[in-house]
Amino acid sequence: MDLQAIADDIVRDLSSRLGEGKVADYIPELAKVDPKQLGIAITTVDGKTYRAGDAETAFSVQSISKVFMLTLALGKVGETIWRRVGREPSGSAFNSIVQLEHEHGIPRNPFINAGAIVVTDIVLAGHRPREAIGEFLRFMHFVANDESLYIDEPVARSEQRTGYRNFALANFMRGFDNLEHPVDHVLGVYFHQCALAMNCVQLSHAGLFLANRGTNPLTGFFRCLAAAGATDQRDHADLRPL
């Protein structure tokens, strides 16, 4: 299978339709994104990367960050995380508050906003917000094997100013004692993690350890999940070269 040809064909076939879609505007800063951008990156488990279009243009990863923050939380507390967030489909919108009242402040899963906020609260334990953001960013540098990743501060501030539903969700869960830290601290970290800027190539590299049973073939280090809290291969004995 010629993955490079497939990626090139997709970009070519869709080029005439670029701009037809509508960018997210519920966060004002995201409304400024060029709607005619399209990038594709594919990295296989043997470490080969194929790219096409705007694959090296950075963008705010938003909810993709939830996967990596969950990895950090699992590295910190293990299976006990499921006492505070479920593992079931929600059947409701990603930012819905409806089920929380019926289920006593326990979100259905870690990938809807309410669940991701609880996961962020878990990672925040023992840290000030700025330290937790730093830990998350160092972890992303590690899994992507790229220290150029950064937090897009204008996007984070835009989310902070307009994230009314997330404030509602967080306060509601705080009322059920399912948040252990002040709401503004938790959401400060949450908004910053969502504002992580990466390009398609970097993102395809960051997900390799999930696709390859915990091993990143680009770096030769493994057991990233177990060592998620370390954020530096030198800090954990399990991170050994293959």
> Are 109 and 150 part of one and the same domain?
yes
> Are 40 and 74 part of one and the same domain?
no
Domain tally for the chain? 2
Residue entry with tokens 């005439």: 16
> Are 27 and 119 part of one and the same domain?
no
- Does any domain span residue 102? yes
Domain that residue 38 falls in: 3-56
Containing 198, the helix (H) or strand (E) segment is strand 196-198
Which stretches of the chain are DSSP H helices? 3-14, 65-77, 98-102, 113-124, 129-144, 153-162, 164-175, 183-194, 200-206, 208-211
> Are 36 and 77 part of one and the same domain?
no
pLDDT, one tens digit per residue, over 19-45 is 999 999 999 999 999 999 999 999 999
Mean pLDDT over the full length of the chain:
90
Q: What are the residue ranges in the chain where pLDDT is below 70?
A: 221-242
pLDDT, one tens digit per residue, over 129-161 is 999 999 999 999 999 999 999 999 999 999 999
Domain boundary among 40, 56, 72: 56
**Predicted pLDDT of residue 223:** 54
Distance in angstroms (rounded) separating the CA atoms of residues 208 and 171? 35
> Are 92 and 11 part of one and the same domain?
no
Distance in angstroms (rounded) separating the CA atoms of residues 54 and 203? 13
> Are 161 and 83 part of one and the same domain?
yes
> Are 32 and 74 part of one and the same domain?
no
Q: How many helices (H) and strands (E) does the chain have?
A: 10, 5
**Predicted pLDDT of residue 222:** 57
**Predicted pLDDT of residue 95:** 84
- Does any domain span residue 25? yes
- Read off the amino acid at residue 169: L
